[in-house]
Structure 1
Amino acid sequence: MHGFGIGDLRVEYRGNPIGIGVRIPRFSWKLFGMGRAIRQKGYHLQVSENDPYFENPIWDTGEIGSDQSVHIVYDGHPLRSRQVYHWRVRVWDAKGRVSDWESSFFEMGILDFREWKAQWITFDPGKHNRPCEALPLLRKVFKVYSPLRSARVYATALGLYELEINGKRLNDQLFTPGWTSYHKRLQTQTFNVTEYIRKGDNSIGMTLADGWYKGRIGGHPCDFYGDRRAALLELHLVYKDGSEQVVVTDGSWRAETGPILMASIYDGETYDARLEKEGWSLPEYDDQNWLFVETTERSKHMLIPQENVPTVIVKELKPELVLRSPNGETILDFGQNMTGWVSYSASGDAGAVIELIHAEELDSDGNLYVENLRSAKQMTRYICKGTRNERYEPRFSFQGFRYVKVNGYPGDVISECFTAHVISSDLEETGAFECSDPLVNRLQSNIVWGQRGNFLDVPTDCPQRDERLGYTGDAQVFVRTAVHNMNVAVFFTKWLRDLKADQLPTGGVPNTIPDTLPGWEMHSASGWGDAAVICPWTIYLCYGDLRLLEEQYDSMKAWVEFLRSSGEQEYLRNNGFQFGDWLALDAPAGSYTGSTPKDFIATAFYAYSTKLLSKSALVLGKHEDAAMYEELFANIRVSFNKEFVTSTGRLVAATQTAHVLALHFGLVEGSIRKRVEKDFIRLIEESEYKLTTGFLGTPYICPTLSEIGRNDLAYRFVLSREYPSWLYSVQNGATTIWEHWDGRKSDGSFWSKDMNSFNHYAFGAIGEWLYRFVAGIDTSQDRPGFKHIQIKPLPNDGLSYAKATFQSMYGEIVSGWKVVDGAVNIEVTIPPNTTATLELPNALQDRVTEQGVRLDEAEGVRIISLYDYRIILELESGFYNFQYQWSASS
């Protein structure tokens, strides 16, 4: 291949996925090679059904002259449920080099709910004199007659479930089937269980838990979605002779309660080891005293093959310290706020109770602080069975914590006996940022930990108190930062489908998705409901995902039409429930909402969503819609100026957030914009360079400052150590992003017990600025998905170096700069099959070299524009190192 080839083959963003439900999948791959200017000129792709040798492909593109290597749409025969499809691809480049064939596979789930043969089964412990909250164990024995070719389980539950076959737990997926609006969408999982099955007798076991379905959620008592846990499962056994056997859930399954007496999302888990049923999922287990399950007539119309990535354990941590509090509490300090649970080993007397109580903080005296948890108990209880070295690990509840109080532990509490298991959606980490300031590096770490802890099947607001809901506002302000840190395309695709499913008939959008407040009049808050437009547009920009944009277009349009029709005036939004600039520091006493007028914010977001909808329509070829919504945006902007801008160009709201939104959303132009920019800077100066913004103003403040040429102020905000600032929390021990700028005050006291999460990622949206402006990595709107990359680093005296990496759909992008004694070094890596525009700041052409070569002689470099102290270059793929002496800007 001479240093040229392809790899990282993916179907719908995944490598070798099984159980997918996309009937017309898309294929992607990356090019690899040494040197510069590597571009694909064509590809050849084949797909076969159950044929790894491609002797009879069901789709063969032939040789296609195209540089497309992302989202190639399948165009062959209809794909069938439960089938394995192999695919392979080879490419050639401009130099005539041809890669080897590279192969991969994907497997379909059950595509049509009418194909399910299984029955819903349920077991109500309360009907049989068992504890009502106890988790049922379900089991079925079956026989395998001859050698198998394959075995697959297809399963789901109303509630949560866990599977075992012949005493072994299946893979590492947690909290299956995940959280959706269960009556409309319920995910089914596919498991390859061939290695678990043996000839002769076998047994499959299933544990059911309340989860989000039956447990209390969102301020509701239990049974929000339903009052009965239920299971649905099919095991398909394909023998080597081609025959097939199917084991299904039906009335022949048996059930009994086990050792888990209670499991709650908010409150924790109680486990009585004395009630364990040793070997209960083995075929030889004696279940003659177990009860039969009930079958129940439940619909299957909402069943869909799993869309989301599973929740898994992503890290394990040991306690850094074992503390003794002034109250005499034994407390484990894991050194990091996280989402997950703690496992441990112990040797206690039968009946001894060990309790772990989880919290994010210690109070000013050093005792465990639990008041901010509100009604969430966050406690696990283990009742010993009296043997040596018993081990306990929760399975159906999660906690948000750094500190754990240990009660009743037999013997000395030593760190070696305890392990924290960090759980999250299994998202590939795609980005990294570092710089010369260690506190900013800690801030970046806090942002990632906040995302890790809150991206748990849905983008939750927090993982610890009695909330943990998919707030739309938090998701939309953070989505661009989320993209840089992790591959969230699949994650947001699933969540946006949930949003579309729960969208109101009027086009309004619930403030949490899945909707935990159906029928509540307090919905469709501006900056929250706008997630319906902002999130799909962002995923399109960053992944080139045209299909998601098209799929969500009706939802996007319905939201904008809801805004158009719901106000008293067509071009203003001045009614309906509003959060406003939530938790802004300019809020009146006793209020959570900042002082920027709610109708100002609502109209600004109305305009912004309309603008993005017009762009989306244009991308999708809906030219009439594009023109209509461009006109609507123009009319909203006119009305905005009449309503909120004085005749002299002053905004009626003298707040930082008002000025940020007017500028960032393009609502003021010409001389008025200049006036607003000037007033914006004056407000910052009058505040003594302190932030006053909340959830809706903060994400845009630094990008807006950099865009209007005041990058110095953006740096000043980010590098500030004083309250309120991002680094204030870092200096005060934060390991995740706080909900409040002063969640913990410098004297050790707390802001409030009612609304004070220490793992709330919204203010972590500053990560977008670190990637896009400090390091300067961005994509272009006309060639999205980083097919054409914009590199525009903005160095500042506050840092001596900064560097970001981002694993795009095409490969790794790197942008880093270093300034030492006026000497500038900028290193850039552009992945194969892409191009980039690079802007060199404070540079003169005759002073710049690329690896010692003049710019006009450097390979892969083309000079686009020369300005005073600014050079714009176009780069082919490859690694570049630019050096020059810093020039004083004009």
Structure 2
Amino acid sequence: MPRAMMITPGSPTEAAPLLRLEFALSEGHGPVAQATLRTSARGLAESWVNGIPTSDDLLEPGWTSYEWRLRVAEHDVTAAIGPRTVIALRLGNGWYRGWLGFTGQRAVYGDERAGYAELSIRFEDGHVQTVVTDGSWRASTGEVRADDLYNGQTIDARLRDEAWLRPGFDDSEWEAVRLVDADADASELVPRSSPPVRRLRELPVAGVLTSPSGATLLDFGQNLVGFVRVAATGPRGTEVVLRHAEVLEHGELGVRPLRRAEATDRFILSGAADVFEPTLTFHGFRYVEVSGWPGEIDPAAFTAVVVGTDIRPTGTFACSDPLLTQLHGNVVWGMRGNFLSVPTDCPQRDERLGWTGDLAVFVDTAAYLGDVEAFLADWLVDAELERRATPAGTVPVVVPNVMKYLDTGFPEPGATAVWGDAAVWVPWALWRAYGHEQTLRAAYPLMTAHTRSVAAVLAEDGVWDSGFQFGDWLDPDAPAEDPGQAKTPAAVVATASAFRTATFAAAAAEVLGEAADAAEFGVLRDRIGDGFRGRYVRGGRVESDSPTAYALAIVFGLLDPAEVQTAGDRLAELVRAAGHRIATGFAGTPFVGDALASSGHLDDAYALLLQREAPSWLYAVTMGATTIWERWDSMLPDGSINPGEMTSFNHYAFGAVADWMHRVIGGIAPLEPGYRRILVAPRPGGGLTWADASLDTERGRVAVSWRIDGDRLVTDVEVPASAEAVVRLPGRPEERVGGGSHRFESAVR
């Protein structure tokens, strides 16, 4: 059987290469029973068979740790096969060869794009004909003159000729291809296990604006990730330019937060009716500045195409406070935009990296909102590959670890709290949400390696007080230019996080029957706990006396029972003294609500959640946000953008509060992995009069709906047939119920 090779044009080109092969179908074997095309690329590959797109997938094969693995996409192309057949590929730069990271570097993985294809045709009599990428293919370029994920795409419709996609096209003037040296590439071609990136929805123009400088701006009404499809008719050679940004600043396109990313698409008209789709790029945007348009702007000519990994939505939430419901919607949009091939920090500026800390704090929310198991399990494979490649065998702060190629002046930091802890927190969250032992087992080497790397750097008394740490990143009291300047000492955050990691690692070892590891990690957990209490706790007061310190100590279980109330009371005092405004960063924010609620301060937790003045979750909503911001004040009250160099309007980390909303307001949480047993425990407060939440679990749909009717709380619960729910409601004894619909009434507290 012939072996497929990576192929590239014989001559370097900045225009997107086109690769094609025309061949005859084998004769004498009867009809084609099945035809399967497998494709991959160094870069991006779009594929057609006889002019028919092989799928609606985009940005294939996506971003993985290219040094070790490249995904292979598989497509059923049976219906496209003919007596003479053309396989066609268009190659993009993508993450492999395009600009990547925040240092202005390009082609960090390699300096040439290459495509891979293997077509297997099985006939009715069992004969198999195999056609592969090899030296017989031909190469040229077409209408895509430039493409880059950060900078955008240029399409010249004058060069568009789809005849090359079909049999009979004369490619004699095309050039020969060159085989890429397989021995120089150690990466393994692996079947795609993560869902593909696709068009998820479309949005029309919500408004056409004119900026103070006279620029024409399109407002799509939603901060989204994707591109704009444009239908245009105008004089041949007319260039239409689209510049994208998330916000307006004083009426003009706010491009400063993009840093080096140009986020600009250029479309050159053919003179006929043209339709442009820049499918080899993506932008994070709500607003688009249009220049060069022939004639008066027609809003119907522009459609925003939302792009992301095709993750099945599973969880819903709504309540009587429209701002809170909007906040939840913002979390959903933030996840949709940043779960694109890899879980990224942001989708718009010159960064878009798989920062581990963001995911570590957000993963529980993600596992409620969507079926993210396959997506994140695939990412965990790269986390382990990258960990093995670091000098100390520690989890890098971004996965895939492009940082090792960037001139950042930032050395590999070694073991890190929260960021490195994603190696343990993410698989444990997947286990809790889905209950699949094989997913936990696959991630177990990563979990144990990280836990042991933490153990190796602890002080003699079990405290983690050495090495680089991000700490409580983006504490709102930190200066704009130094987001790591937090009120809570980094060692307090690190030691508390290490305790949580050891706790989860010990529990995972028990689940998997690894008794020796369970004992080892149990001892480590106790050692860290003793060290934390001995060094940082005095009579329920935690060193630094900050909300994050108390939140982590309470929620992670680091305090003696007698100290929890003292710590909770002090946390509530601090929260009230701050006027129920946020005083926590990345590390503390996901846990402060639980710390308050579990220590008897539910009203303060609600007041914190519902605060509308900055810094708060709802401040951004009142400022028109439709996604979660990176900073609590990414946009200042006067409409100007935060002066810090690092400002994004689409970061999901602070959206981790939705996990609290799901469990405490909505009342849905797992009591056993995979929701075999479900906790139904809504805790109304904050003046809310109703809330609805639902979740599609492995066992079926769970739904909780509560209403306050006078002095009564009426709660309707739907439980899957194969599950059991424990129902805890104010004013009623705990009850256990089986599958079906149930109604409960109790007194409002």
Report deviation, 1:525: 2.7
Query: 1:437-452 alignment to 2 at 5 Å?
Result: 437-452=321-336
Find the counterpart in structure 2 of residue 790 from structure 1.
679
- 1:884 partner amino acid: S
Find the counterpart in structure 2 of residue 344 from structure 1.
230
Query: 1:552-571 alignment to 2 at 5 Å?
Result: 552-569=443-460, 571=462
Find the counterpart in structure 2 of residue 61 from structure 1.
none
Find the counterpart in structure 2 of residue 581 from structure 1.
472
- Which of 525, 528, 537 is matched with 1:633 structurally? 525
Residues 726 and 664 of structure 1: is their aligned pair in 2 closer, same or farther, counting only changes over 3 Å?
A: same
Find the counterpart in structure 2 of residue 761 from structure 1.
652
- 2:88 partner amino acid: G
Query: 1:799-810 alignment to 2 at 5 Å?
Result: 799-810=688-699
Deviation readout 1:142-172 (Å, 9 max, x if unpaired): 1123410010001111110000111121210
Higher helix share: 2
- 1:193 partner amino acid: V
Decide whether the 8 Å contact of 2:731 with 2:746 is kept in 1: no
- 1:361 and 2:253 are equivalent in the alignment: no
- 2:341 partner amino acid: D
Query: 1:371-520 alignment to 2 at 5 Å?
Result: 371-387=256-272, 389-503=273-387, 504=390, 506-518=392-404, 520=411
5+ long unaligned stretches in structure 1: 1-114, 127-131, 844-870
- 1:208 partner amino acid: L
Deviation readout 1:263-316 (Å, 9 max, x if unpaired): 111000111122223311111111010011011221475111001100000010
Please identify the structure whose Cα radius of gyration is greater.
1
Alignment partners' CA distance in 2, 1:315 and 1:450? 15
- 1:823 and 2:685 are equivalent in the alignment: no
Query: 1:441-840 alignment to 2 at 5 Å?
Result: 441-503=325-387, 504=390, 506-518=392-404, 520-569=411-460, 571-587=462-478, 590-593=481-484, 594-646=486-538, 648-780=539-671, 783-840=672-729
Alignment partners' CA distance in 2, 1:602 and 1:572? 8
Report deviation, 1:753: 5.0
- 1:353 partner amino acid: E
Residues 341 and 883 of structure 1: is their aligned pair in 2 closer, same or farther, counting only changes over 3 Å?
A: same
SS of the residue corresponding to residue 202 of structure 1 reads strand
- 1:149 and 2:30 are equivalent in the alignment: no
Find the counterpart in structure 1 of residue 142 from structure 2.
258
| Count of aligned pairs | 735
5+ long unaligned stretches in structure 2: 406-410
- 1:202 and 2:85 are equivalent in the alignment: yes
Decide whether the 8 Å contact of 1:507 with 1:555 is kept in 2: no
Alignment partners' CA distance in 2, 1:703 and 1:455? 26
Alignment partners' CA distance in 2, 1:257 and 1:722? 54
Find the counterpart in structure 2 of residue 218 from structure 1.
101
> Structure 1 residues 737-746 or 115-124, which shifts more?
115-124
> Structure 1 residues 740-749 or 764-773, which shifts more?
740-749
Deviation readout 1:498-543 (Å, 9 max, x if unpaired): 1111113633111111101127323543110100000000000110
Alignment partners' CA distance in 1, 2:224 and 2:190? 31
Find the counterpart in structure 2 of residue 370 from structure 1.
255
Query: 1:74-113 alignment to 2 at 5 Å?
Result: none
Alignment partners' CA distance in 2, 1:225 and 1:877? 52
Alignment partners' CA distance in 1, 2:659 and 2:255? 32
* TM norm structure 1: 0.81
Residues 353 and 633 of structure 1: is their aligned pair in 2 closer, same or farther, counting only changes over 3 Å?
A: same
Query: 1:114-125 alignment to 2 at 5 Å?
Result: 117-123=3-9, 125=11
- 1:314 partner amino acid: L
Decide whether the 8 Å contact of 2:2 with 2:132 is kept in 1: no
- 2:681 partner amino acid: K
Find the counterpart in structure 1 of residue 215 from structure 2.
329
- 2:742 partner amino acid: Y
Decide whether the 8 Å contact of 1:272 with 1:383 is kept in 2: yes
Decide whether the 8 Å contact of 2:607 with 2:686 is kept in 1: no
Report deviation, 1:671: 2.9
Alignment partners' CA distance in 2, 1:124 and 1:572? 58
Alignment partners' CA distance in 2, 1:823 and 1:659? 34
Alignment partners' CA distance in 2, 1:707 and 1:470? 32
Alignment partners' CA distance in 2, 1:466 and 1:154? 31
Find the counterpart in structure 2 of residue 874 from structure 1.
736
Alignment partners' CA distance in 2, 1:384 and 1:658? 59
Report deviation, 1:567: 4.0
SS of the residue corresponding to residue 560 of structure 1 reads helix
Identity across the alignment (%): 40
Find the counterpart in structure 1 of residue 408 from structure 2.
none
Residues 373 and 589 of structure 1: is their aligned pair in 2 closer, same or farther, counting only changes over 3 Å?
A: closer
Alignment partners' CA distance in 2, 1:226 and 1:570? 46
Report deviation, 1:824: 1.5
Find the counterpart in structure 2 of residue 82 from structure 1.
none
Let me know the Cα RMSD of the aligned residues: 1.5
Decide whether the 8 Å contact of 2:396 with 2:412 is kept in 1: no
Report deviation, 1:570: 6.5
Deviation readout 1:330-371 (Å, 9 max, x if unpaired): 00000000000001111122221110000011112x111100
Report deviation, 1:397: 0.4
Decide whether the 8 Å contact of 1:353 with 1:382 is kept in 2: yes
Deviation readout 1:159-208 (Å, 9 max, x if unpaired): 1000011112121000110110011111111100001112x211110001
SS of the residue corresponding to residue 183 of structure 1 reads coil
Alignment partners' CA distance in 2, 1:123 and 1:595? 56
Decide whether the 8 Å contact of 2:152 with 2:262 is kept in 1: yes
- Which of 187, 195, 204 is matched with 1:309 structurally? 195
Deviation readout 1:791-829 (Å, 9 max, x if unpaired): 111011510001100000111100111112112110000
Alignment partners' CA distance in 2, 1:753 and 1:600? 26
Decide whether the 8 Å contact of 1:337 with 1:400 is kept in 2: yes
Residues 218 and 766 of structure 1: is their aligned pair in 2 closer, same or farther, counting only changes over 3 Å?
A: same
Decide whether the 8 Å contact of 2:235 with 2:271 is kept in 1: yes
- 1:219 partner amino acid: F
> Structure 1 residues 287-296 or 516-525, which shifts more?
516-525
Decide whether the 8 Å contact of 1:827 with 1:882 is kept in 2: yes
